[in-house]
Structure 1
Amino acid sequence: MTTTPATPERIVDIAVGYMAAQQLFAANRIGLFPALAAGPSSAAELASRTGRPEKITRILGDALSSLGLLSRVDGRYALTPDTAAYLGGGGLDLAPFLTFLETISYPHWQQFAHTTDTGEPGALDLTGDRWDTFLGGVMVYNALHARMLARAFDFSDVKNLLDLGGLSASFALEALRANDVLRATFVYDPRSVPSVTEAVASFADRVSVSGAPTAEAQPAGEFDLVMVNHVVHRFSVDENRAILRHARAAAAPGARLLLLDFFLDDDVVPRPLDVLHAGEYLVIDGTVVYPEAEVRGWLSDAGWRPVDRLTLPGSPRVLVAEAV
């Protein structure tokens, strides 16, 4: 019997991962991707457009080509389809999310040793313009999640939607765009009501927005779809149990629940995005990525029957449940 020899490659690749991240952040910051939107370019041409030294644009171009974010043919770099769609001006621009990661998240991870030793979050500085950077990045990342969900879930048969306690109106907005007869009710933390009302203004005749603390909100109605997006990790076990009970009380029999968040799974190989965010949420503000098995128990206790799990590209997972 032959065995595959042990190799250090995976260890080294992970250990130097921050180098790849920093070069992605740098390319985003200097405008390398928009500079390539017009077509393939040399390092010298990129240096001229970005105002940076040619040795830098060569290093960044080569690094991102090695990672599959650019292509390199005869010394000329070009956007790949993924990069063109999400960083090159061809659709949803993730640049604010990368700026958040570079300027807020990455430096904050320097405190992860403290978090590892104590289980406590680091000190998060959101003074000055850092709050705008934080919020801008988070909302763009939520917009990505909403688009991925709209591709994975069919909203065409939904008539009456409840969006309960989320961080962003993007999810319900995608549903409203996909379904001309859909009506949506937003019940958000009172602090979010003005921004949500502004975000949904173009659908004012099909939406209502009200404020209530998420853990206490008890919406009235018989909704055929309830969305609870990025709520679970922000609340305690008891609060989550209450939120799911209140969601069930507002749902018609047979209604669906979409519970979107990062979860710790019991798969043979855990999905990296979920477990990495467990560290991110803990070090940033002490919030919790819960085990999926535990969350499924809360659902069952609240009168929801889990029926599916959607894994969204570059985004959280969604537990789909039915009201019983």
Structure 2
Amino acid sequence: MNEDLREADTEAAGRRSSARVVEEALGFLYPAALRAAAAVGVADHLADGPRTAAELAQATGTDPRNLHRVLRLLATRGLFEEDDRGRFRLTAAGDALRTDAPVSARSAVLMLTDRALWLPSGEMAHCLEKGTSPFGQIFGMPFFDYFAQNEDTAAVFHDGMAAMSDAENEPLADSYGFPATGTVVDVGGGHGGFLLAALRGGPGLRGVLYDRAHVLAGNRIDTSDVAGRCAVEKGDFFASVPPGDLYLLKRILHDWDDEQCVGILRNCRRAMAPGGRVLVVDAVIPPGNAPHQGKTLDLMMMASLVGRERTEADFAELFGAAGLRVARVIPTPTVLSIVEGVADGDGRP
């Protein structure tokens, strides 16, 4: 009898496990639905109140039945909500899907679910079997070469990164507390959102936004409150960086392998003034089994690029190879941390 009960318990546990695993495997359909809703701009038509799927379909030029099916799934996680009259409303949690939301994430959604990131993720077994990204096999060239040849995809990427940064920049700058004076060089700074937050925090600071020419074309650094305090300089951070006192590397090192990262850090070390500092702003993977967005982003890096998200020990090793040392790791209200490096041998804490 006891043996029969044990067998029954084992079978029940097996069924629960099977159901859980199948549910996890279906999880990819949620971001697919999220992308579809963002692509057709559904949320923009809900700013004034709830509407039926038929009304939304007419506004967005989509199929009403299929739009209802997409929104019904998204409503299971709280971004939309369907009422008993079949009308959908945008919740507070989903408000950032609006293009004109105060901190819109729509461009970030379109970037994170773009085929350049989506398709390689579906071939992740390649990473395990070959130890390399499947990106080149799918697109015929490395990630950044592909972007250089596809202006539309590059625009999606840079707009998406700017959208992700908009929610991060101010809390990141507040977490560090920038000095009152000196020159801040934003290496690979994209559209300049983080540099702008830094300059606003230090009214005596001067800034240099440093990136490729095609990226700098979309910069947003020319605002009245920092007028005359920021230069825009094009270049290649693998070759050199401009002189300065403080170097920002926000979401840069995670794109590249260890050797390339050391090269970038060495260039900063050579160019920085005495007493200068390097701020690497990336996810720092914590130990243990707790969820952390960096663990998810790490697999995106693995599938599409050559880089990875790193632990504090990983950063210490990179800094040491570049003639720097980690002075401190500063947590922030965002998923990112600030890893502050100083010249090796600098006695300051």
1:26: Cα distance to partner? 1.3
Q: CA deviation at 1:184?
A: 0.6
Q: CA deviation at 1:277?
A: 2.4
Larger Rg: 2
Q: 2:326 aligns with which of 281, 305, 313?
A: 305
Q: How does 1:100-139 map to 2 (within 5 A)?
A: 100=111, 101-122=113-134, 123=136, 125=139, 126=146, 130-139=150-159
Candidates 51, 56, 77, aligned match of 2:88: 77
Which of 253, 267, 289 matches 2:287? 267
Name the counterpart of 1:163.
186
Q: SS in structure 1 opposite 2:228? A: helix
Task: State the Cα distance separating 1:204 from its structure 2 match.
Answer: 5.3
Give the whole-Å Cα distance in 2 for the aligned partners of 1:66 and 1:107.
25
1:106–1:194 distance in 2 versus 1, CA, 3 Å: closer
Question: Which residue is 1:173 aligned to?
Answer: 196
The Cα shift of 1:205 comes to: 1.0
Judging changes above 3 Å, is the alpha-carbon distance between structure 1 residues 15 and 318 closer, same or farther for their aligned structure 2 residues? farther
Residues 128, 141 of structure 1: alpha-carbon distance in 2 compared, 3 angstrom cutoff: closer
8 A contact 2:51–2:88 mirrored in 1: yes
* SS class of match (2:104): coil
RMSD over equivalenced CA pairs, Å: 3.3
SS in 1 for 2:89: strand
**2:45 corresponds to which residue?**
35
**How big is the shift at 1:38?**
1.6
Contact 1:96 1:133 in 2 (8 A): no
- Residue 321 of structure 1 deviates from its aligned partner by 4.5
1:72 deviates by 2.9
In 1, distance between residues paired with 2:328 and 2:178?
Answer: 19
What's the CA shift for 1:35?
A: 1.5
Give the superposition deviation at 1:185. 2.0
CA distance in 1 between counterparts of 2:61 and 2:287 reads: 47
Q: Provide the residue aligned with 2:237 in structure 1.
A: 214
Matched, 1:205 2:216: no
SS of 2:47 mapped into structure 1: coil
Q: Summarize deviations over 1:56-110 as a string: whole Å, max 9, x none.
A: 2322222111111112333332212232134352124333333331433223333
The one-letter amino acid paired with 2:312 is E
1:28 to partner: Cα distance: 1.4
Superposition deviation, residue 210 in structure 1:
3.0
Distance 1:283 1:181, change over 3 A: same
Residues 248/312 of structure 1: CA separation in 2 closer, same or farther (3 Å cut): farther
Other-structure match for 2:78: 68
**TM-aligned CA deviation for residue 227 of structure 1:** 0.9
TM-score (norm 1): 0.80
Structure 2 residues not aligned, in runs of 5+: 1-11, 140-145
Shift of 1:143: 3.8
After TM superposition, give the deviation of residue 52 of structure 1 in Å. Answer: 2.8
1:271 is displaced (CA, Å) by 4.2
Amino acid at match of 1:96: S
The TM-score, its normalising length taken from structure 2, stands at 0.75
Counterpart code for 2:70: L
Which of 80, 105, 121 pairs up with 1:94?
105
Moved more, 31-40 or 283-292: 283-292
Q: Which moved more, 1:27-36 or 1:107-116?
A: 107-116
Which ranges of structure 1 fall in alignment gaps of 5 or more residues? none
CA separation of 1:120 and 1:269: change in aligned 2, threshold 3 A = same
1:45 matched residue in structure 2: 55
Identity of aligned residues (%): 21
Does the Cα contact within 8 Å between 2:41 and 2:98 map onto a contact in 1?
A: no
Conserved in 2, the CA contact under 8 Å of 1:34 and 1:88? yes
